[in-house]
C-alpha cells in the first residue's frame, strides 16, 4: 500500500473509480455471457426440439388418419362416391405425410434419432406400399382381399411404427427437458454469480471509499491541527510525513514552514540578546572613541610635519631616478648594437663553414676521379702487356697516367686534411661566436631589465610625489572628519539607548512562541 499512498489524489480517485468500473464490467460481461447461454438453450428448444416434436406429432397424426381411411374403405363397401372421397383424402394425407417426413429428416440432431428414423421411414414406406394395395383392392370391389391386407402385414407394421414414433417423440421431449433444465441451471448459476459479484463490488467499493477517506482525510486533519498549533504560537509540533501525494506535500510544506519559523524565532531571540549586549558595548565604545578622537587629532599634526619632510625626499629621489633612466637607456642602445655586430659575425662564420664543407665534397669527388683513373691506368697497362711490342708505347703512357693519378690522390688527401682542420677550427670559432652572441643577448636583455626597473622606479617616485600630495589633502580632511566624529559620538550614544529599548520590546513580542 506504500506505492498507493504516494500517488496523487487525482490518480488515487481514478484508480478507485477504475476498480469499480472494472467490477461493473466483469459483472456485465458475466451477466451477458450467462444470458447468452440461456438464449442458446431457449433457441435450442424453440429451433430444434419443439419443431421436431410437432413434426413427429404431425407424422403420427397423418399415419393414424391414413389408417382410418383404410378402415372407412372397408365400411363404405359399394359406396363409390364415398370411397372416391376417401381416396382423395388419402392422397392429401400422403402428400402432407411426405412433406412432414422430409421436414423432420432435416432436423435430425441426435445419434438416437439418426439410428431410429431410417428404420421408421423404411417401415412407413412398406406400410404405404401395403396401403396402396388395400386401396386398390377396395376400389376393385375385392373386399375380401382388402380386409385380408388390412388385417395382415399392414396391421403388424402399424403398432411398430407408432411405437417407434413414440420413441422419437420421447427423445425430443427428453432433449427439450434437458435444454430447459440447462437453462434453469444457467439461470441459477447466473443468479448466484451476479449476487457474488455484486456483493464483491459493494465490498470493494466500500473498502475503497473507507480507505480513500482515511488516506485523504487523516493527513488533512493532521495539517489542520498543526496549523492551529502554529497559529497559537506552538512551534514544537513534530510533523510526520507518510506519503508523497498532495496531502504529504502539504504536511511537508507545513514541516518546512514550522522549521523555518522555529529558526526565525530562535534567531530573533538570539538577535535581541545580541542587540542588548551590543547596545551596552556601543555605549562603552563611545567613551573609547572620544578618547581615540583626541589622540587622532594629535597624531594628525605629527603626520603633517613628517609628510613635509617626506615630500622633499621623494622629489630628490625622482630626479635621481630620471637621470639613471637616461643612462640605462643609452647603455641599452650600445648593447643592442654590439649584439647586432656579433650576429653578423655568426652569420659570416656559418657561411665560411658551409663553403668549407662544399670544398670537402669537391675534394672527395677529385679523390674518387683519381682512384678511378688509377684503375683505368692499371687496366691499360695490363692490355699493353698483352699487346707486346705494339703496346709498349701505350704502356709507358698508362704508367705516366697512373703516376699522375696517384699524385692527384695524394694531393687531394692533403687538401682534404687541411680543409677538415679548417672546418673544425671554423666550427669551434662559430661555436665561440654563437656563445658570444648569446652572452651579448643576455647583456642586452639585462640592460633592458635595468632600464625597465629604473623606469618603474622613476614612475613610482612620480606617483609617490602625487600620492603624498593627496595624503596632505587627506590629512586635512581627516582633521575635519575628527571634528565631525565628536558630534557622531553623541548621536551614537542616543541611538544605543533607543536600540536597547527596541530590543526589549522585540524580546517581549517573540516570547509568545514555544520552540520546544
| Secondary structure E strands in 359-474 | none
Q: What is the pLDDT of residue 508?
A: 72
Q: Rounded CA gap, 315 and 292, in Å?
A: 33
Question: Residue 236: helix, strand or coil by DSSP?
Answer: coil
Q: Which H or E run includes 326?
A: helix 246-387
Specify whether the CB–CB gap between 139 and 105 falls below 8 A: no
Same domain, 254 and 197: no
Q: Rounded CA gap, 441 and 449, in Å?
A: 12
Same domain, 427 and 313: yes
* pLDDT per 10-residue tile (average), the chain, 516 residues: 68 75 81 70 61 86 88 72 83 90 84 87 90 85 82 86 89 83 81 86 84 73 77 71 72 75 75 74 70 70 69 71 70 69 70 74 79 82 80 76 80 79 75 74 73 74 74 71 68 70 71 64
Same domain, 172 and 49: yes
Q: What is the pLDDT of residue 328?
A: 62
The DSSP call for residue 48 is I
User: What grid cell was written down for 374?
Assistant: 688509377
Q: Taking each helix axis from N to C terminus, what angle separates 9-44 and 153-231, rounded to the nearest 10 degrees?
A: 170
Same domain, 195 and 300: no
- Cα angle 158-164-168, degrees, rounded to a multiple of 5: 140
Q: What is the pLDDT of residue 57?
A: 87
CB-based contacts of 335-342 (< 8 A; 24+ apart in sequence): 335/440, 335/443, 335/444, 335/447, 336/444, 338/440, 338/443, 338/444, 339/437, 339/440, 339/441, 339/443, 339/444, 342/433, 342/436, 342/437, 342/440
Same domain, 483 and 356: yes
CATH code of the domain in which 181 resides: 1.20.120.30
Dmax over CA atoms of the chain, in Å, equals 184
Question: Residue 1: helix, strand or coil by DSSP?
Answer: coil
Residue 243 placed within a domain: no
Same domain, 419 and 466: yes
Same domain, 342 and 405: yes
Specify whether the CB–CB gap between 66 and 93 falls below 8 A: yes
Residue 242 placed within a domain: no
Q: Rounded CA gap, 493 and 506, in Å?
A: 20
Residue 305 placed within a domain: yes
Sorted by sequence, the CB contacts under 8 Å of residue 70 that are 6+ apart come out as 131, 134, 135, 150, 154
Q: Rounded CA gap, 229 and 262, in Å?
A: 13
Range of the structural domain that residue 160 is part of: 2-225
Same domain, 282 and 345: yes
The DSSP call for residue 388 is G
Specify whether the CB–CB gap between 485 and 293 falls below 8 A: yes
Same domain, 323 and 271: yes
Q: What is the pLDDT of residue 512?
A: 61
Specify whether the CB–CB gap between 475 and 254 falls below 8 A: no
Q: Where among 225, 258, 278 does a domain terminate?
A: 225
Residue 44 placed within a domain: yes
Question: Residue 234: helix, strand or coil by DSSP?
Answer: strand
DSSP 4-38: HHTS-HHHHHHHHHHHHHHHHHHHHHHHHHHHHHH
Closest CA to 127 of 150, 103, 104: 150
Q: What is the pLDDT of residue 442?
A: 82
Q: What is the pLDDT of residue 510?
A: 63
Same domain, 164 and 296: no
Q: What is the pLDDT of residue 342?
A: 61
Q: 110 — phi, psi (to 5°)?
A: -95, 155
Residue 371 placed within a domain: yes
CATH code of the domain in which 477 resides: 1.10.287.950
Same domain, 219 and 288: no
For 64, 299, 465, the CA distances from 121, given in Å and listed in that order, are 15, 150, 147
Q: Where among 193, 210, 225 does a domain terminate?
A: 225
Q: What is the pLDDT of residue 123?
A: 92
Question: Residue 514: helix, strand or coil by DSSP?
Answer: strand
Q: Where among 162, 191, 225 does a domain terminate?
A: 225
Residue 516 placed within a domain: no
Residue 239 placed within a domain: no
Specify whether the CB–CB gap between 325 and 458 falls below 8 A: yes
Structural domain total, the chain: 2
Closest CA to 200 of 29, 19, 13, 17: 19
Question: Residue 108: helix, strand or coil by DSSP?
Answer: coil
Closest CA to 430 of 418, 338, 438: 438
Same domain, 8 and 150: yes
Q: Rounded CA gap, 64 and 62, in Å?
A: 6
Residue 232 placed within a domain: no
Which residues sit opposite 514 in a β-bridge? 234
Amino acid at each position: 500500500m506504500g506505492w498507493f499512498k504516494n500517488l496523487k489524489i487525482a490518480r488515487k480517485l481514478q484508480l478507485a473509480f477504475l476498480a469499480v468500473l472494472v467490477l461493473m464490467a466483469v459483472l456485465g460481461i458475466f451477466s451477458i455471457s450467462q444470458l447468452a447461454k440461456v438464449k442458446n438453450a431457449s433457441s435450442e428448444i424453440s429451433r430444434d426440439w419443439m419443431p421436431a416434436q410437432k413434426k413427429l406429432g404431425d407424422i403420427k397424426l397423418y399415419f393414424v388418419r391414413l389408417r382410418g381411411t383404410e378402415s372407412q374403405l372397408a365400411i363404405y363397401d359399394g359406396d363409390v362416391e364415398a370411397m372416391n372421397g376417401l381416396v382423395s383424402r388419402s392422397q392429401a394425407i400422403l402428400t402432407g405425410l411426405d412433406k412432414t417426413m422430409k421436414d423432420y429428416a432435416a432436423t435430425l440432431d441426435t445419434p438416437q434419432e439418426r439410428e431410429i428414423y431410417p428404420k421408421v421411414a423404411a417401415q412407413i414406406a412398406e406400410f404405404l406400399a401395403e396401403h396402396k394395395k388395400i386401396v386398390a383392392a377396395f376400389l376393385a370391389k375385392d373386399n375380401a382381399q382388402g380386409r385380408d391386407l388390412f388385417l395382415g402385414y399392414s396391421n403388424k407394421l402399424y403398432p411398430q411404427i407408432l411405437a417407434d414414433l413414440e420413441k422419437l417423440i420421447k427423445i425430443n421431449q427428453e432433449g427439450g427437458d434437458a435444454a430447459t433444465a440447462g437453462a434453469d441451471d444457467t439461470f441459477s448459476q447466473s443468479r448466484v454469480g451476479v449476487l457474488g459479484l455484486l456483493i464483491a463490488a459493494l465490498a470493494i467499493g466500500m473498502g475503497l471509499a473507507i480507505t480513500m477517506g482515511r488516506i485523504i482525510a487523516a493527513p488533512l486533519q493532521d495539517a489542520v491541527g498543526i496549523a492551529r498549533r502554529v497559529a497559537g504560537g506552538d512551534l514544537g509540533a513534530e510533523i510526520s510525513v507518510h506519503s508523497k501525494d498532495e496531502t504529504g506535500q502539504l504536511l511537508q510544506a507545513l514541516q518546512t514552514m514550522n522549521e523555518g519559523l522555529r529558526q526565525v524565532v530562535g534567531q530573533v531571540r538570539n538577535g535581541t540578546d545580541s542587540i542588548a549586549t551590543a547596545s551596552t558595548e556601543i555605549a562603552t565604545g563611545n567613551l573609547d572613541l572620544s578618547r581615540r578622537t583626541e589622540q587622532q587629532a594629535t597624531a594628525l599634526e605629527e603626520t603633517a610635519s613628517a609628510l613635509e619632510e617626506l615630500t622633499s625626499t621623494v622629489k630628490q629621489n625622482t630626479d635621481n631616478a630620471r637621470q639613471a633612466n637616461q643612462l640605462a637607456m643609452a647603455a641599452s642602445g650600445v648593447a643592442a648594437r654590439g649584439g647586432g655586430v656579433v650576429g653578423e659575425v655568426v652569420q659570416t662564420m656559418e657561411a665560411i663553414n658551409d663553403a668549407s664543407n662544399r670544398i670537402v665534397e669537391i675534394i672527395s669527388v677529385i679523390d674518387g676521379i683519381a682512384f678511378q683513373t688509377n684503375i683505368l691506368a692499371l687496366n691499360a697497362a695490363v692490355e699493353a702487356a698483352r699487346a707486346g711490342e705494339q703496346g709498349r708505347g701505350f704502356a709507358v703512357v698508362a704508367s705516366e697516367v697512373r703516376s699522375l693519378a696517384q699524385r692527384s690522390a695524394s694531393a687531394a688527401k692533403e687538401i682534404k686534411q687541411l680543409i677538415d682542420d679548417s672546418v673544425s677550427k671554423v666550427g669551434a670559432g662559430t661555436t665561440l661566436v654563437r656563445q658570444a652572441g648569446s652572452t651579448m643577448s643576455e647583456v642586452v636583455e639585462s640592460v633592458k631589465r635595468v632600464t625597465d626597473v629604473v623606469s618603474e622606479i622613476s614612475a613610482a617616485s612620480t606617483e609617490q610625489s602625487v600620492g603624498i600630495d593627496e595624503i596632505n589633502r587627506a590629512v586635512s580632511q581627516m582633521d575635519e572628519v575628527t571634528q565631525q566624529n565628536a558630534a557622531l559620538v553623541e548621536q551614537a550614544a542616543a541611538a544605543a539607548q533607543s536600540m536597547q529599548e527596541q530590543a526589549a520590546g522585540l524580546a517581549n513580542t517573540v516570547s509568545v512562541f514555544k520552540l520546544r
